Structure 1
Amino acid sequence: MRSKGAIKFFSVIVIAAIVAYVAFFGIKVGNYSISSIQNRIRLGLDLRGGVYVLEEAEGNVTQDEINKAIAVIRNRVDALGVTQPVIAQQGSNRIRVELPGMNDPDRAIEIIGKTAQLKFIGPDGQVILTGANVKDSKAVYAQTETGVQQPEVTLVLDAEGTKKFAEATQKFLNQPIAIVLDDKVISAPRVNDVITTGNAVITGLKDFQEASELATLIRAGSLPVTLKPIAYSSVGATLGPSAYNAAVKVGIYGVLLILLFMAAFYRLPGIMADVALIIYILINLIIYALFNITLDLPGIAGFLLSIGMAVDANVLIFERFKEELRAGKSLRAALDAGFRRAFTAVFDANMTTIIGAIILFYMGSGNVKGFALTLLIGVISSFFTAITVTRFLLHALLEMDLTRDIKVYGA
């Protein structure tokens, strides 16, 4: 019986240790690799610095127009090389854009809000094609007659565009055709051949980055709606990391104090609760990494609050456990009764918090959503660890039969 309990207990410890190692340090086996959660968890602008812009569509807009606008903005932002941008709908007619590492809101607004139609204009000033006629555009490397690799942009036109472009290239042979976006010429390639296939190539570009940006602008085309910036802010590159470091320190100190309190006040059950709490924290971090959840300061606050909920559940259970021990019940009977009697209170407390978090998530916006999401994830996982993991560890501990002194169990 003792050996069975020891196997159960140490199996949980070993599995948790292996998962923690893989989560924090990653692992690579042949062609398969798992990156660490530090590299997978996305930090909000308030923790890593950048620009936040909230755009509102003017007039009555459809969901399809908002979806197209988001796609266009994403293409434009990707052309900047911004790492892990956040481009999401907020409400029915707003788009929230977060650009980490950028510190110029005016530049961000200029890039995001380009609304004029993409046009191909001939030397006579007449519009030949619009962005709607371009099916695809890519930046590629092509080999010249001398064997040198040069960047160029390929264009694929639709049927209408193919016909119009064939006529234009015949008419303007050896003349430039301007590609204009927002009344600004982004390229003016010269027509070297009559193009009748609907496949064109733009050459003479400085480097591949220029070709990639040009292809992105052509592909993105115009916004289907007019966007107006209603809010924007910038977080410095030093303020973000300092806030992140402060939040991490506060979290570590807070968790250490909780672990010490639980071990000192509830003794062996408190130590088991500490193990379950560490597993709970690990579960949360893995969920954040797997689902690409953006972690900002309000999100960290929600996470820390959920730790308090996890501890509160254990406190309720252990107080019931102590009452049963003082009433003269055996350790196993007192443990089962303690969990059974505390379950309703723990369940009700968690459910009310879950309901509140769901309402905040669906009715709130911006940072409020981040707080609600981490709180919701935390409360659900804390309920799981308190009711299952802690109980499993305590049963394994009783099977090991280390001591029958109820004082060791906090009574």
Structure 2
Amino acid sequence: MARIRPTSMARRTLLWLGIIFIALAMLLGGGSIWGQASWAPKLALDLEGGTQMILTPKVQGGQSINDDQLNQAVSIIRQRVDGTGVSEAEISTQSGRNVIVSLPGTPSAETRELIKASADMSFRPVITIGQGAATPADQMLPPDKLPVPTAAPTNASDQNWVDAALYKTFETTSCVPPVTEPPTNADPAKPVVSCDLASGAKYILGPVEVPGKDISDANYGLQQGAQGATTNQWSVNLKFNSDGATKFREVTSRLNGFLQANPQDPRAQFAIVLDGRVISAPVSQAVISDGNSSITGNFTEASAKSLADKLKFGALPISFDIQSEQQISATLGGQQLEMGLLAGIIGLLLVVVYSLFQYRALGFVTIFSLVVAGALTYLAIAILGWTQNYRLSLAGVAGLIVAIGQTADSFIVYFERIRDELRDGRGLVAAVENGWRRAKRTVLASKAVNLLAAVVLYFVAVGSVRGFAFTLGLTAIADLIVVFMFTHPTLQLLARTRFFGEGHRFSGLDPKRLGAVPLYRGAGRFREPMQVTLGVKGGAKPGSASAAKGKNSGAQAEAERRQTIAERRLAARQEQMAGSRGAGSADPSKGSQDAAKENKS
């Protein structure tokens, strides 16, 4: 099989990088034309401003709210909001009673509902179904006709739960406008009257048989038909824990018995109640024994996702009303952003100046690599803002600024490896390939540490710190892509140009300025080991006059300057040994005879 030339591989890699950029740009452009995308990243609360809502608990006479309930509510609301993406929301308590939620931008109606709804789900059996309108006074049952229980109820579907007071509530409840508000904090061990606002039906429901806390997971998707085909109806899929699965199997067994005895019996239905409202009351047509269930109704994709998120993160211990809502500005954040961007520009300019001073023309590779990394990161942030509701905060901007130095560090490691290879006497093409093999291990190890730190910080932190960790990890990934797909292929191509390949003095890769000594010196002379370390010119032996003269050259000084402490000590020992050998044996033949005698003895 023919081996692919490095130049062909380099061009192919750069072509793939261009394809990635074009694909990302087309994706974002298409989203901005046909969707809700924007070329500008979404900004978080501290940079854009947003909406602050004060939530007040719904309580009935004498009910008290404690700190544990408020802290639990804050935790659940934060999980619900974070479940929609990294939105940099700020959630806290106020005065030991209210909850303050600050969101960037203007929240949608679904978001408001997601925040304030208790999401207290329960499963109650249906006992009676009626029309949604309240019964006119002249049509209500007289007192002597109201139902009277004949025995103690034996199960949650027993009609003996219905007494005169409950039936009177059933008659006066309206499930069509004006709708009667559902009771708050209803006793799960007692029957209730509830409405299905979608259909306008009202129900008398038995006690709770499966509480919402028995739901272990929830997700949403298109409903599967009887033959396994996907329908166009959205559903919310539930998975119960072991206790919930056992209860659900027992309930569906009983309800299925009602269905077999009388298909019109309302007691064959099982109502799914969310925050006091019936969202679905399906007929139990089979015994469900695996703990998996599905809720169907008039769901859209958004409403199905909202309900799944509420159930997934649990119910609030109390329900809330939005007491007040006001817009908040981002004046302070804007000023801090200006200062942060100024600091970032100064840091970027310092990196550019250092790169050009230290690496001359090679520094332009660093500059262009930083530009490519910045463009890739920008596109990623804009696309994530569109698809995942990611918002860039001031802390996220700080992560991007910190990443400038970390990204430049990867290029410096690579360049120094190449220079080391040039000092060893290799040509630039070989130096690039050998230097890359050594440098990429260091770069990979460094970025792995950065990614690990970013991931740990993201999952253990809250609020704006997560934004910092997110951008730190994102830029580490972008850095790897740029180093592997732009910096290295570019140097592979530049190494074969005359300017860089012949070591122009302004290329930054001039072997003479780096103190390099070629392996073959011509006329049958090869580089000696001491010359690799000391950069001695001309193949003269250590300790000779020509070696001393070469030691004072600019290349020699550069080589000595770049030696490590260990290399200096090794060179000193070698010089000392060479000097002692020269002083102790002026006659080479005599020295050889002495060595032979010593070996013989």
Residue 301 of structure 1 deviates from its aligned partner by 1.3
1:391 aligns with 2:488: yes
* Structure 2 SS opposite 1:399: coil
1:342 aligns with 2:342: no
Q: 1:46 — aligned with what?
A: 46
Q: Higher relative contact order at CA 8 Å, sep ≥6: structure 1 or structure 2?
A: 1
In the alignment, the residues of structure 1 paired with residue 87 and residue 507 of structure 2 have an alpha-carbon distance, to the nearest angstrom, of 50
Q: 1:163 — aligned with what?
A: 130
1:330 aligns with 2:330: no
TM-score with structure 1 setting the length: 0.58
Which residues in structure 2 correspond to 1:137-148 (within 5 Å)? none
* Structure 2 SS opposite 1:37: coil
Residue 4 of structure 1 deviates from its aligned partner by 7.3
Q: Could you tell me which amino acid in structure 1 is paired with residue 431 of structure 2?
A: A
* Structure 2 SS opposite 1:295: coil
Q: Could you tell me which amino acid in structure 2 is paired with residue 37 of structure 1?
A: W
Q: 1:142 — aligned with what?
A: none
TM-score with structure 2 setting the length: 0.42
Q: 1:259 — aligned with what?
A: 352
Which residues in structure 2 correspond to 1:1-400 (within 5 Å)? 26=29, 35-38=37-40, 41-50=41-50, 58=69, 66=76, 97-101=101-105, 163=130, 165-166=132-133, 168=135, 177=178, 179-180=180-181, 199=199, 224-226=316-318, 236-291=329-384, 292=388, 293-400=390-497
In the alignment, the residues of structure 1 paired with residue 26 and residue 181 of structure 2 have an alpha-carbon distance, to the nearest angstrom, of 51
* Structure 1 SS opposite 2:501: coil
In the alignment, the residues of structure 1 paired with residue 445 and residue 131 of structure 2 have an alpha-carbon distance, to the nearest angstrom, of 68
Does structure 1 retain, via aligned residues, the 8 Å contact 2:49–2:327?
yes
- CA deviations on 1:164-199 (whole Å, 9 max, x unpaired) are 6245367689x984544899xxxxxxxxxxx99974
In the alignment, the residues of structure 1 paired with residue 35 and residue 483 of structure 2 have an alpha-carbon distance, to the nearest angstrom, of 32
- CA deviations on 1:55-100 (whole Å, 9 max, x unpaired) are 98729979xx948x977x89xxxxxxxxx9766999xxxx994422
Q: 1:140 — aligned with what?
A: none
Structure 2 runs not aligned, ≥5 long: 56-66, 93-98, 141-170, 185-194, 202-276, 280-305, 510-601
Residue 290 of structure 1 deviates from its aligned partner by 2.0
In the alignment, the residues of structure 2 paired with residue 177 and residue 17 of structure 1 have an alpha-carbon distance, to the nearest angstrom, of 56
In the alignment, the residues of structure 2 paired with residue 34 and residue 116 of structure 1 have an alpha-carbon distance, to the nearest angstrom, of 29
Does structure 1 retain, via aligned residues, the 8 Å contact 2:333–2:394?
no
In the alignment, the residues of structure 2 paired with residue 399 and residue 226 of structure 1 have an alpha-carbon distance, to the nearest angstrom, of 71
* Structure 2 SS opposite 1:225: coil
In the alignment, the residues of structure 2 paired with residue 377 and residue 340 of structure 1 have an alpha-carbon distance, to the nearest angstrom, of 25
Q: Could you tell me which amino acid in structure 2 is paired with residue 226 of structure 1?
A: I
In the alignment, the residues of structure 2 paired with residue 111 and residue 14 of structure 1 have an alpha-carbon distance, to the nearest angstrom, of 41
Does structure 1 retain, via aligned residues, the 8 Å contact 2:87–2:391?
no
Residue 317 of structure 1 deviates from its aligned partner by 1.1
Does structure 1 retain, via aligned residues, the 8 Å contact 2:392–2:467?
yes
Q: Which has the larger radius of gyration?
A: 2
Q: 2:188 — aligned with what?
A: none
Does structure 2 retain, via aligned residues, the 8 Å contact 1:360–1:372?
yes
Does structure 1 retain, via aligned residues, the 8 Å contact 2:90–2:103?
no
In the alignment, the residues of structure 2 paired with residue 85 and residue 341 of structure 1 have an alpha-carbon distance, to the nearest angstrom, of 41
In the alignment, the residues of structure 2 paired with residue 246 and residue 23 of structure 1 have an alpha-carbon distance, to the nearest angstrom, of 32
Q: Could you tell me which amino acid in structure 1 is paired with residue 339 of structure 2?
A: A
Change in Cα spacing, 1:54 to 1:247, as seen in structure 2 (3 Å) is: farther
Does structure 2 retain, via aligned residues, the 8 Å contact 1:87–1:98?
yes
- CA deviations on 1:210-262 (whole Å, 9 max, x unpaired) are xxxxxxxx999997422799xxx996332233333433343344334323432
Does structure 2 retain, via aligned residues, the 8 Å contact 1:53–1:98?
yes
Residue 401 of structure 1 deviates from its aligned partner by 3.6
* Structure 2 SS opposite 1:394: helix
Residue 319 of structure 1 deviates from its aligned partner by 1.2
In the alignment, the residues of structure 1 paired with residue 440 and residue 113 of structure 2 have an alpha-carbon distance, to the nearest angstrom, of 56
Does structure 2 retain, via aligned residues, the 8 Å contact 1:51–1:235?
yes
In the alignment, the residues of structure 2 paired with residue 14 and residue 111 of structure 1 have an alpha-carbon distance, to the nearest angstrom, of 41
Residue 14 of structure 1 deviates from its aligned partner by 7.3
In the alignment, the residues of structure 2 paired with residue 116 and residue 328 of structure 1 have an alpha-carbon distance, to the nearest angstrom, of 72
Q: 2:507 — aligned with what?
A: 409
Residue 314 of structure 1 deviates from its aligned partner by 0.8
- CA deviations on 1:138-187 (whole Å, 9 max, x unpaired) are xxxxxxxxxxxxxxxxxxxx9889616245367689x984544899xxxx
In the alignment, the residues of structure 2 paired with residue 4 and residue 110 of structure 1 have an alpha-carbon distance, to the nearest angstrom, of 57
In the alignment, the residues of structure 1 paired with residue 457 and residue 469 of structure 2 have an alpha-carbon distance, to the nearest angstrom, of 6
Identity %: 23
Change in Cα spacing, 1:307 to 1:12, as seen in structure 2 (3 Å) is: farther
Residue 110 of structure 1 deviates from its aligned partner by 12
Residue 47 of structure 1 deviates from its aligned partner by 1.0
Q: 2:244 — aligned with what?
A: none
Q: 1:154 — aligned with what?
A: none
* Structure 2 SS opposite 1:165: coil
Does structure 1 retain, via aligned residues, the 8 Å contact 2:44–2:87?
no
In the alignment, the residues of structure 1 paired with residue 456 and residue 39 of structure 2 have an alpha-carbon distance, to the nearest angstrom, of 29
- CA deviations on 1:264-319 (whole Å, 9 max, x unpaired) are 32133321222121111111122212224221111111122122111111111111
In the alignment, the residues of structure 1 paired with residue 468 and residue 197 of structure 2 have an alpha-carbon distance, to the nearest angstrom, of 54
Residue 382 of structure 1 deviates from its aligned partner by 0.9
* Structure 2 SS opposite 1:311: helix
Change in Cα spacing, 1:309 to 1:197, as seen in structure 2 (3 Å) is: closer
* Structure 1 SS opposite 2:103: strand
In the alignment, the residues of structure 2 paired with residue 11 and residue 349 of structure 1 have an alpha-carbon distance, to the nearest angstrom, of 27
Residue 19 of structure 1 deviates from its aligned partner by 7.5
In the alignment, the residues of structure 2 paired with residue 314 and residue 245 of structure 1 have an alpha-carbon distance, to the nearest angstrom, of 28
Residue 7 of structure 1 deviates from its aligned partner by 7.0
Does structure 2 retain, via aligned residues, the 8 Å contact 1:163–1:196?
no
Q: 1:210 — aligned with what?
A: none
* Structure 2 SS opposite 1:99: strand
Q: 1:123 — aligned with what?
A: none
Give the count of matched residue pairs: 323
* Structure 2 SS opposite 1:43: coil
In the alignment, the residues of structure 1 paired with residue 334 and residue 182 of structure 2 have an alpha-carbon distance, to the nearest angstrom, of 37
Q: Could you tell me which amino acid in structure 2 is paired with residue 258 of structure 1?
A: V
